[in-house]
Amino acid sequence: MNYLKELYHYNSGPVQSCSFTHEQETDPPHSQDVIISKTYLWIGASKGFIGDLHFEVHHENGDLIDLLQWDHYTDPTLPTGRWEHHAGGWLLTTGQRLKFTRKCSPVTGYENNKVHFLSYIVGCFPV
């Protein structure tokens, strides 16, 4: 049987909300092909943050797998997250990577808050 399991986990931890774009590629944790069937993206911000947050996951070949944007201009600050189910899945062949991109664009004067980016990538090994 094909059981779903966590293939990748990305956690930026709380980071300063200065204006930035950060990209990070994963090292493949698998030694065989995998099929990505679900992705979960979550963005959080400390109370008082005002600005735009952007989080995306790309296949190594450049294809966009998932994207979450949050225009945060009011309190209370609630975390924003969602599951995306990929019908048919995304194939990652042995050795291929994912690229995580996170962007923060605070309104001037709100650079001293914290923002947080989290992702779970779930899938299975093809039979």
How many C-beta neighbours within 10 Å does residue 88 have?
7
Work out the percent of the chain whose per-residue pLDDT is above 90. 40
Length of the chain: 127
The domain ranges of the chain are 5-124
Residue 126, class by beta-carbon neighbours within 10 Å (0-12 exposed, 13-18 middle, 19+ buried)? Answer: exposed
Q: What is the average pLDDT value for the chain, to the nearest integer? A: 87
Summarised one tens digit per residue, pLDDT across range 53-90 is 999 999 989 999 999 998 888 766 565 888 999 888 88
> How much helix, strand and coil, in percent to the nearest 5, is found in the chain?
0, 60, 40
pTM of the model: 0.86
Which residue would you say has higher pLDDT here, 29 or 5?
Answer: 5
Q: Which two tokens stand for residue 54?
A: 């952007």
Could you name the CATH architecture of 5-124? Sandwich (2.60)
pLDDT number for residue 110 = 84
Average pLDDT over residues 42-58: 90
First to last CA, the chain: 8
How many C-beta neighbours within 10 Å does residue 36 have?
22
pLDDT number for residue 26 = 86
> Is the pLDDT assigned to residue 42 strictly greater than 70?
yes
> Taking phi first (over 0 means left), then psi (-120 to 50 degrees means alpha), and beta for anything else, what does residue 7 get?
alpha
Interatomic CA distance for residues 36 and 15, integer angstroms: 28
Task: List, in order, residues 6 or more apart from 126 with CB less than 8 Å away.
Answer: 2, 33, 34, 35, 91
Which residue would you say has higher pLDDT here, 43 or 78?
Answer: 43
Work out the percent of the chain whose per-residue pLDDT is above 70. 93
pLDDT number for residue 127 = 66
> Is the pLDDT assigned to residue 102 strictly greater than 90?
yes
